[in-house]
Amino acid sequence: MSVLIDDLALGLKTYRAPWKGQIVLVCRKCEKKLKHSGEKSGLAKLQKVLKKRNKRNKSAEPLRVIGVSCLKMCPKGGVTVCTQQQLGRNECCILRTREDVDALMCQTSLQGDAFYAHKAH
């Protein structure tokens, strides 16, 4: 028989997060692999791109992008990412293309400029 134990029963005190908005976890190891592979997809700097894109869209909900250690999915040519909603479902996603990043931005209810607009040649 499983027993649910809440934080208060264990004596743990909970606190309100010091930030507002959605959390997105980005695997630093995936970014590092792409950076060293020489691939110019832009995903090697995904954390930075997500933060900048979120700042440009003033009407969007704030986004808290956090680089985390390896998420143990290790996709070839991609970056593992977990949104707040996905964490609740024990899921992650793998971003490999601009379209994947656009879908992530829509999923976190963020609309904005085209991804990689500054990288277009």
Residue 83 lies in a domain: yes
Residue 1 lies in a domain: no
Query: Which H helix or E strand runs over 17?
Result: none
Sheet containing 93-95: which strands, arranged edge to edge?
63-68, 22-27, 79-83, 93-95
Residue 116 lies in a domain: no
pLDDT at site 1: 43
Closest CA to 75 of 53, 51, 95, 101: 95
Residue 15 lies in a domain: no
pLDDT in tens, the chain (121 residues): 445 556 556 778 888 888 888 899 999 999 888 888 776 667 888 888 888 888 887 777 888 899 999 999 989 889 999 998 898 899 999 999 888 988 888 887 543 333 333 333 3
Looking at the 3D structure of the chain, how many domains does it have?
1
Sign of CA dihedral 89, 93, 99, 104: positive
What is d(CA 42, CA 44) in angstroms, rounded to the nearest whole number? 5
Q: Angle at CA 32, nearest 5°, toward 17 and 81?
A: 45
Residue 20 lies in a domain: no
- Give the global pTM: 0.74
Residue 121 lies in a domain: no
pLDDT at site 121: 36
Residue 16 lies in a domain: no
Residues spanned by the domain of 32 = 25-111
Residue 7 lies in a domain: no
* Neighbouring residues of 11: CB distance < 8 A, sequence distance ≥ 6: none
What is d(CA 73, CA 114) in angstroms, rounded to the nearest whole number? 27
What is d(CA 55, CA 76) in angstroms, rounded to the nearest whole number? 29
